[in-house]
Amino acid sequence: MPPAPEAPSAEWPRGHSAFRVREFRVVDRQQDTADTVTLALAPLDGQPLAFAPGQFTMLGRVGVGEVPISISGNPDRGLLVHTIRDVGGVTHALATSDVADVLDVRGPFGQGWCVEDGYGSDVVVVAGGIGLAPLRPAVLRLLAERDRYRKVSVLYGARTPSDRLYPSEVARWRDRDVDVVEVVDQGSPEWLGRVGLVTTLVPRAHFEPGRTLALVCGPEVMMRFVTLALLDLGVPPDRIRLSMERSMKCGVGLCGHCQLRELFVCVDGPVLDYATLAPLLAIREL
């Protein structure tokens, strides 16, 4: 998969180190769900952080540590936006940050979705749970150039209605000629939408399999089943892109924490096409 045009090269520019830590101030904090927040960050040095949809940063707090977090903001606007789920020590420190707190940022790292590869094609975006966060920049980029794509579908599965990310924004995507279908695992008395599994939405979405770019992000088991549904319909393996979650640490393929046999997810991924991933996903404990 070729790198996105605006993505930094794996060869870092002279004077720029992958280990250079930049400070960003929290300028906005939204509580998305009970355990998930979205932070908007402004660089203290005034230099916006350019990134490609699908890339991640190493986000940290001094004295606590750093973790890889996908960028969930608009690639065409200034602030760095991260959606963080509070599931561990470092993510707890990040998710409980307040406005005006300062966080450390390294990156951006990795290969993104390369949504431009979908020019002239149908695009189907399948997200599960917090997997919508890494896909949001891709959707925003699709919307920014909506007329360059054919049908665009967003299929989103969440645990409950209150666990959905960005619900009002997702609803507005419908006004931009995007077929948005949401489904939850567990309904609620107020929920009149679909209850079921996100994979079951795939055969019902409107796209021409042979002319489709599929972008998938969510729990790995969910991605496996979504991929099977896409393959079953005839979407070519190299047109199915998955964002892999592994314990990225250095961000530049040195430490080996995120090694997936011959791949380093932090450099070769996190977005990889299924043709590349298929032989690796079949190996247990890899």
Partner 1 sequence: MRTIDELLHEHPFFAGLDAEALQLIAGCAANRHARTGDYLYREGEPADVFYVIRRGRVAIEADDPVAGPMVIETVDDGEVLGWSWLIPPHQWLFDARALESTSTVVFDGKCLRTKCDEDPNLGYDLMQRVAQVMYARLQAARIRLLDLYGVPGAARP
The residues binding partner 1 (CB under 8 A) are: 35, 87, 128-130, 157-159, 163, 185-187, 189, 191-197, 199-200, 204, 218-219, 221-222, 225
Q: Considering the complex, state which of residue 100 and residue 192 has its C-beta at the smaller distance from partner 1.
A: 192
Give the nearest distance from C-beta 266 to partner 1 in angstroms. 19
- The beta strands (E) that lie in 55-177 are given as 56-61, 65-70, 80-85, 102-109, 122-128, 152-158
Give the nearest distance from C-beta 185 to partner 1 in angstroms. 5
Q: How many CB atoms lie within 10 A of CB 284?
A: 5
Q: Considering the complex, state which of residue 48 and residue 193 has its C-beta at the smaller distance from partner 1.
A: 193
Q: Considering the complex, state which of residue 26 and residue 180 has its C-beta at the smaller distance from partner 1.
A: 180
Q: How many CB atoms lie within 10 A of CB 77?
A: 10
Q: Say which residues have a Cβ less than 8 Å from residue 214's Cβ, sequence separation at least 6.
A: 123, 124, 125, 126, 230, 235, 239, 240, 241
Give the nearest distance from C-beta 283 to partner 1 in angstroms. 20
Q: Are strands 178-184 and 152-158 parallel, antiparallel or unpaired?
A: parallel
Tokens of 19: 């280990």
Q: Considering the complex, state which of residue 2 and residue 189 has its C-beta at the smaller distance from partner 1.
A: 189
- The residue whose two tokens read 């977005």 is 271
Which H or E element spans position 32?
Answer: strand 22-33
Give the nearest distance from C-beta 144 to partner 1 in angstroms. 29
Q: Considering the complex, state which of residue 226 and residue 250 has its C-beta at the smaller distance from partner 1.
A: 226
Give the nearest distance from C-beta 246 to partner 1 in angstroms. 13
